[in-house]
Amino acid sequence: MLRKLASPAWAMLEYGSYPLLLFIATPWFLHQLGTGGYGHWMLLTATVGFGGVLNAGTGAATIKAVSAGIGRSDGCDIEHAVKISLAIASLGGGALALLVLAVFWLAGPVLLSRMGDPALIRLTGVAAAALIWLEQVDNVFSSSIKGAEHFGQAARIEIASKTTQIIGAGLVLWVWPMLWALYMALLVVAVLRLIAKSIIARRLLGLANLRPTLIGANTILHFAKWGWLQGVGGMLFGVADRMLVGSLLGASSLTYYSIASQLAMQIHAVSAAGLSVIFPKISRKLEGQGHFSLWRVTKLTVAGNLLLSSFLALVLLLLGPMILRSWIGADSAASTAKILPWLVIAYWILALNVVPYYILLGMGRMRFVGLTVLSCGIIAITTMYFAITREGLIGAPAGRGIYALLSLALVFPLARHFFQENRTRRVGRRSSLASGDGSLP
């Protein structure tokens, strides 16, 4: 039993360690950078998040290919899949990095005029472009390790790098309390993390050659293209909203919104991290020949997810204002606390979709997932724009609430699958009984 819980525990620890460190360090970063400087850092984070559009497709396709290859016991297929993913990530990440750099350098001071100094906006664009490219390649190695279900290894290197990132950034800002120093620290750690993950992936999967190639890329691209659509929808939900707040309301409002989101998103993110292990497991099991009960896995994970997400939501609803006051001070907490409850409700609803999401990925239903998430994202960001222009910062959570409600559509294909499976089972049972009755003397 403990071994079954090890992978989810490592996945949650991997995710939870960084928000916890950032939670502890936020007052220090706010003090050293000021509200405006911290807002630029959040702008950097939001911009790097645009890379999630590519990550969602390439990462999911890599996990699917590696786990399926393990299920078929095909080592050559695994290595070829990783090489194809590296080529896609390198080209796609490079193209996106150039696009981000061009937008920030040429149009950033106009589009983000409320963010202040044009030089700082351009500096943020340069750092974001470099981080986007590095994280695309990094994502391939991370997904390869997780596809092989080595969640402990992936977690250890991620925890070590994130800890180094926060501590290093804090020390750098102590000596040079400027944005360029912070961005340099983030880039150095990103390079070191990429090197470490490539070494670990090569050792765990027995990869002899990591030269990127696009030969035979059709299978990975077929799965990844729907993941990229999902990535666009996820970007509209988790990245474009911050860009919208920054451009419409300015750096201070972006800081308040980012801090509230940082707290509320834990409701969904902790569950998503822990349950991410079922994606490669289901993919591997479905490719194998042994007996596997998808319904049993679904029941157990849905029940556990509901308990965990409800507990986290209740804690934040009851203790959120007190946490904010002790975390960032009474002045900043007052503005942040107004939007926190609405974000908590939105993320609790979104957490209900975690199990259907990963199970559908394991079943290869990436097309439905991608189209659903994209549609939800478009509606969400449109709703958010009108809500902000009408109500100001208090209207910002509306987009995430609409997104969460609409994404409940992920439940329906899974429910239909189990309904059809149950009906087929009943028909088979009746046929078996009828055959048995007919054979009686």
DSSP string, 45-94: HHHHGGGHHHHHHHHHHHHHHHHHHHHTT-HHHHHHHHHHHHHHHHHHHH
Top-confidence residue, 339 or 432? 339
Asked whether the predicted pLDDT for residue 397 surpasses 80, the reply is yes
Top-confidence residue, 182 or 437? 182
289 confidence band (pLDDT: 50, 70, 90): low
Domain membership of residue 439 (yes or no) is no
Top-confidence residue, 15 or 179? 179
Do 252 and 392 have their domain in common? yes
Minimum mean pLDDT among 6-20, 205-219, 278-292: which range? 6-20
Give the mean model confidence (pLDDT) for residues 14-36: 73
Domain membership of residue 107 (yes or no) is yes
Asked whether the predicted pLDDT for residue 345 surpasses 80, the reply is yes
State the Cα angle at 16 between 268 and 258, rounded to 5°: 65
The enclosing H or E element of 261 equals helix 251-264
Do 31 and 160 have their domain in common? yes
pLDDT score recorded for residue 24? 76
Do 71 and 205 have their domain in common? yes
Helix ranges restricted to H, 103-250: 108-111, 118-147, 151-175, 179-205, 218-238, 240-249
Asked whether the predicted pLDDT for residue 324 surpasses 50, the reply is yes
Do 198 and 240 have their domain in common? no
Strongest mean pLDDT among 125-129, 177-181, 223-227, 334-338: 125-129
Give the mean model confidence (pLDDT) for residues 377-406: 87
Domain membership of residue 45 (yes or no) is yes
Asked which of 216, 249, 275 is the last residue of a domain, the reply is 216
3 confidence band (pLDDT: 50, 70, 90): low
Domain membership of residue 438 (yes or no) is no
Do 212 and 255 have their domain in common? no
pLDDT score recorded for residue 232? 74
Chain position carrying tokens 């969400």: 380
Q: Provide the whole-model pTM.
A: 0.65
Minimum mean pLDDT among 50-64, 168-182, 250-264: which range? 50-64
Burial environment of residue 237 by CB neighbours within 10 A (0 to 12, 13 to 18, 19 or more)? buried
| Token representation of residue 282 | 């289901």
347 confidence band (pLDDT: 50, 70, 90): very high
Asked which of 164, 188, 216 is the last residue of a domain, the reply is 216
Asked whether the predicted pLDDT for residue 440 surpasses 60, the reply is no
Do 95 and 208 have their domain in common? yes
Do 193 and 263 have their domain in common? no
Minimum mean pLDDT among 25-29, 101-105, 128-132, 403-407: which range? 25-29
Report the C-alpha dihedral over residues 382, 387, 388, 389, rounded to 10 degrees. 90
Angle between helices 52-71 and 278-287 (to 10 degrees): 40
Do 211 and 279 have their domain in common? no
User: 325: how many CB neighbours lie within 10 A of its CB?
Assistant: 16
> What residue numbers bound the domain in which 244 lies?
235-420
Give the mean model confidence (pLDDT) for residues 14-31: 73
Domain membership of residue 147 (yes or no) is yes
Do 207 and 307 have their domain in common? no
Asked which of 183, 216, 249 is the last residue of a domain, the reply is 216
Asked whether the predicted pLDDT for residue 361 surpasses 80, the reply is yes
Asked whether the predicted pLDDT for residue 439 surpasses 60, the reply is no
Do 28 and 115 have their domain in common? yes
Strand, coil or helix: 366: helix
pLDDT score recorded for residue 349? 93
Domain membership of residue 2 (yes or no) is no
Asked whether the predicted pLDDT for residue 203 surpasses 90, the reply is no
Do 332 and 367 have their domain in common? yes
Nearest to 305 by CA among 270, 279, 281: 270
User: 85: how many CB neighbours lie within 10 A of its CB?
Assistant: 29
Domain membership of residue 127 (yes or no) is yes
Do 137 and 183 have their domain in common? yes
pLDDT score recorded for residue 348? 94
Domain membership of residue 431 (yes or no) is no
pLDDT score recorded for residue 75? 54
Total domain count, the chain? 2
> What does the pLDDT look like over 140-183, one tens digit per residue?
888 888 877 777 777 777 788 778 878 888 888 888 877 788 88
Asked whether the predicted pLDDT for residue 32 surpasses 60, the reply is yes
| Token representation of residue 332 | 């900043």
